[in-house]
């Protein structure tokens, strides 16, 4: 059954998310009242923030925070800085966070935020001023029991430290639990930096086991060598997978015998790019997506696998490290090809799961050893994988719709039990 149609819908993340939600809700025979509640965000905030630049002029930046649902707990979701940020993208990402938290069964709802800016052209001082003013504008809606931001595209541990400090100054007390993804020195969790990539590795292991493959003869191509892609590639390499290709936004690498990802990690740290790495051949980054491999891990941006290239994919397994890398229209093509998809709301949930661990540690004032963080993450990711597969098989749907059904079922049950306050 087609989930979506039309060129605009294919590239609009909110419309694509809505199409998948509707299909899953229909399969669940979801109550129409709950359908209405869950199909729209609970709150959307737009702010226009003045920031003094280093040369003295004032720039006005537009920022968003969308809270999709808070039925199961505080809203949770990242903050991204990019020129392409728009309200529909943030809405979609907030909804995906609701479903992601429900799939791994942690007590959060979904939120997302972003500022339209080009952080590559801004100094650290400008980014700090912008971050602090953005936090101040949202001060009434943020908080450990309200909405807990985290890093996302072009934001990092330092960004979260600025947000935490700004919020704490307004509250007149240190509130570490207001954000996650912080430096360990100010209440961050051990293992958080690698968590999303580790989650990708864990569900990939489960997928190859289910399909009867062995890591040492399973070829992997990873798109994106940022936080998620680099750690996913490194951890898969350490598990014995053959990482044969790495694609970045402007270049790519290929080695049929496997890339030594640890050496590549060190090379990028030293050079700021993977381009020129001596132990692999240069490759076209677009062609790597459709190259001969067993596992493809898109870990970069939305809308990377579309109706234009889905038919050319050769991978048996698609593990979505990024949010929304596959358009809804491409799903039908991949299903016809028999590609085993681990959808984004499961595959990249390692980050928010370990963010939950960080939130718990901050609220307890007791911090866990990294080995314990990783073991808890493994338990939750493998349990969620098993639940999604069970849903897929019992309802005769693909893994993506099964993950949506599982998530929607859990959130809807919470709303139904709580009732509607009127």
Catalytic residue IDs = 112
Strand pairing partners for 253? Answer: 246, 282
Q: In the chain, what's the furthest Cα-to-Cα distance?
A: 65
Q: What is the token pair recorded at 311?
A: 């038919």
* Sign of the torsion angle spanned by Cα atoms 101, 169, 152, 134: positive
C-alpha to C-alpha distance for 95 and 186, rounded to whole angstroms: 29
Which residues in 146-285 belong to E strands, given as ranges? 147-151, 219-223, 242-247, 252-254, 281-282
> Interhelix angle for 124-137 vs 157-171, to 10°?
50
Task: Give the number of other Cβ atoms within 10 Å of residue 294's Cβ.
Answer: 19
Q: Dihedral of CA 410/412/414/417: which sign?
A: negative
| Cβ burial 240-269 (10 Å sphere, 16+ → b, else e) | ebbbbbbbbeebbbbbeebbbbeebbebbe
Taken in order 224, 230, 236, 242, the sign of the CA dihedral is: positive
As a whole number of angstroms, the distance between CA 247 and CA 263 comes to 16
Bridge partner residues of 18 (DSSP): none
Residue 323, SS3?
Answer: coil
Closest CA to 358 of 195, 123, 158, 159: 195
Q: Are 246 and 230 in contact (CB under 8 A)?
A: no
d(CA 238, CA 132): 39
């Amino acid at each position: 059954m087609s989930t979506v149609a039309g060129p605009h819908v294919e590239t609009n993340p909110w419309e694509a998310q809505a199409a998948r939600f509707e299909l899953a809700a229909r399969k669940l025979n979801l109550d129409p009242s709950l359908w209405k509640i869950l199909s729209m965000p609970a709150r959307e905030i737009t702010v226009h923030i003045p920031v003094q630049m280093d040369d003295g002029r004032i720039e006005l930046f537009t920022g968003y925070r969308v809270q999709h649902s808070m039925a199961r707990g505080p809203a949770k979701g990242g903050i991204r800085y990019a020129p392409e940020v728009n309200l529909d993208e943030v809405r979609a990402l907030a909804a995906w966070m609701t479903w992601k938290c429900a799939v791994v069964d942690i007590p959060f709802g979904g939120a997302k935020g972003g500022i339209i800016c080009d952080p590559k052209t801004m100094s650290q001082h400008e980014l700090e001023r912008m971050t602090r003013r953005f936090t101040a504008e949202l001060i009434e809606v943020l908080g450990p029991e309200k909405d807990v931001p985290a890093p996302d595209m072009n934001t990092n541990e330092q960004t979260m430290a600025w947000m935490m400090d700004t919020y704490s100054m307004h509250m007149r007390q240190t509130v570490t639990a207001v954000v996650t993804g912080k430096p360990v020195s100010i209440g961050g969790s051990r293992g958080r930096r690698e968590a999303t990539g580790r989650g990708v590795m864990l569900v990939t292991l489960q997928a190859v086991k289910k399909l009867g493959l062995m890591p040492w003869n399973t070829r992997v191509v990873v798109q994106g060598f940022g936080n998620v892609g680099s750690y996913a590639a490194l951890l898969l390499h350490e598990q014995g997978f053959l990482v044969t290709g790495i694609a970045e936004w402007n270049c790519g690498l290929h080695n049929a015998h496997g890339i030594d990802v640890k050496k590549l990690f060190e090379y990028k740290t030293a050079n700021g790019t993977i381009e020129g790495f001596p132990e692999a051949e240069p490759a076209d980054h677009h062609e790597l997506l459709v190259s001969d491999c067993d596992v493809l891990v898109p870990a970069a941006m939305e809308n990377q696998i579309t109706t234009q290239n889905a038919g050319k994919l050769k991978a048996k397994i698609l593990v979505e490290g990024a949010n929304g890398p596959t358009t809804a229209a491409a799903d039908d093509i991949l299903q016809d090809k028999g590609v085993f998809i681990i959808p984004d709301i499961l595959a990249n949930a390692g980050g928010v799961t370990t963010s939950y661990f960080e939130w718990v540690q901050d609220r307890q004032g007791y911090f866990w050893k990294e080995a314990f963080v990783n073991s808890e993450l493994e338990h939750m990711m493998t349990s969620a994988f098993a639940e999604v597969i069970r849903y897929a098989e019992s309802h005769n749907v693909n893994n993506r719709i099964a993950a949506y059904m599982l998530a929607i079922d859990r959130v809807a049950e919470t709303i139904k039990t709580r009732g509607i306050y009127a």
